[in-house]
C-alpha cells in the first residue's frame, strides 16, 4: 500500500466488517422459517434463503439510487420474497418487523475484529461509517458500547441522505473526521461500497477479503493482525 501521506484517522464499516451481519441474517431467516406460524407455504429454508439473498442486494441498490423509499426497502424485500414463492403478500409488513426483531437477537462480532478495533483506537482516532437504517445501526452500537464509546464520530448513511459509495457521504465523513481525505484509512468488506467508494474519495482502504484489488492504496487482509501492523506503518508515514 502506498503511503505518501500518514494516516491520521481510521473509519470502520460495521456490517460484515466488525459485526457478522451475514450470520445474523441467516439465523433470523432460519428462526422465522422454523416458527410454528411461518408464512412460507411449505417452502424449504434453502429456497427461502436463496431467494432472499437474490432479492435483498437489488432492493438495496434501488434504495441507494433513490428508486425505493425506506419503507419500500424494508417491507418491499419481503413482498418480493413472498411473491417469488408464489404466496400472498398480505403478511409482508408483519414479516419485515419480525425479521428485524429476530435479526437483532443474533448480532455478534466478527472473530478478532473488536480486538483489532480497540488496538487501532489506541493508536489513532477511529470512527464508524456505515450504510443502513439509522435505528438499526444505532441499536447495534448500543448493544456494543465498546465500539460506540471509542468512536470519535459515527456516520450513518440515512442521516446524511445518501449511501456508500456516493462521494457525498465520504466527503461528509472526511469533514467530520477533521483531516484531509488522503490521511483517512477505511476498513471495510464491500468491493463496491467500501473499496471503490473509498478510493474514489481519495482515502486509503483496508479490504477485509480473501480477494485482492490492484491499487496502490488498497490492502487486502483476512488476518486482523495484518491490519494492525499496516496501521502502525501508515501512521508513521
pLDDT of 7-66, one tens digit each? Answer: 999 999 999 999 999 999 999 999 999 998 888 988 999 999 999 999 999 999 999 888
Contacts of 46 (CB under 8 A, 6+ apart): none
- 9-20+108-236 and 21-104 share one fold: no
Q: Which residue ranges make up each domain of the chain?
A: 9-20+108-236, 21-104
Which tens digits make up the pLDDT trace of 165-214?
Answer: 999 999 999 999 999 999 999 999 999 999 999 999 999 999 999 999 99
Which CATH code for domain 21-104? 1.10.150.240
Which tens digits make up the pLDDT trace of 90-123?
Answer: 999 999 999 999 999 999 999 999 999 999 999 9
Q: pTM, whole model, 2 decimals?
A: 0.93
Q: How many residues does the chain have?
A: 237
- Count the Cβ atoms, other than its own, within 10 Å of residue 197: 25
Which CATH code for domain 9-20+108-236? 3.40.50.1000
Residue 39's pLDDT is what?
Answer: 87
Where would I find the beta strands (DSSP E) of 131-194? Answer: 151-156, 184-188
237 falls in which pLDDT band (50, 70, 90)? low
Contact 216, 2 (CB under 8 A): yes
Amino acid at each position: 500500500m502506498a503511503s505518501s501521506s500518514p494516516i491520521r484517522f481510521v473509519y470502520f464499516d460495521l456490517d460484515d466488517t466488525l459485526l457478522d451481519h451475514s450470520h445474523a441474517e441467516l439465523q433470523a431467516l432460519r428462526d422465522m422459517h422454523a416458527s410454528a406460524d411461518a408464512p412460507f407455504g411449505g417452502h424449504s429454508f434453502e429456497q427461502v434463503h436463496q431467494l432472499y439473498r437474490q432479492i435483498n442486494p437489488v432492493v438495496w441498490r434501488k434504495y441507494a439510487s433513490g428508486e425505493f423509499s425506506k419503507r419500500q426497502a424494508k417491507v418491499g424485500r419481503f413482498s418480493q420474497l413472498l411473491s417469488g414463492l408464489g404466496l400472498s403478500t398480505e403478511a409482508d409488513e408483519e414479516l419485515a418487523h419480525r425479521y428485524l426483531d429476530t435479526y437483532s437477537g443474533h448480532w455478534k462480532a466478527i472473530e478478532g475484529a473488536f480486538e483489532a478495533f480497540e488496538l487501532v483506537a489506541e493508536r489513532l482516532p477511529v470512527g464508524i461509517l456505515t450504510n443502513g437504517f439509522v435505528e438499526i445501526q444505532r441499536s447495534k452500537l448500543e448493544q456494543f458500547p465498546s465500539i460506540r464509546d471509542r468512536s470519535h464520530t459515527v456516520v450513518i448513511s440515512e442521516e446524511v441522505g445518501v449511501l456508500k459509495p456516493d462521494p457525498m457521504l465520504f466527503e461528509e465523513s472526511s469533514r467530520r473526521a477533521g483531516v484531509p481525505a488522503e490521511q483517512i484509512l477505511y476498513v471495510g468488506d464491500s468491493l463496491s461500497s467500501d473499496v471503490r467508494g473509498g478510493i474514489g474519495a481519495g482515502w486509503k482502504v483496508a479490504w477485509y477479503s480473501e480477494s485482492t484489488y490492484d491499487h496502490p492504496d488498497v490492502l487486502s487482509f483476512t488476518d486482523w493482525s495484518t491490519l494492525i501492523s499496516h496501521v502502525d506503518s501508515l501512521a508513521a508515514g
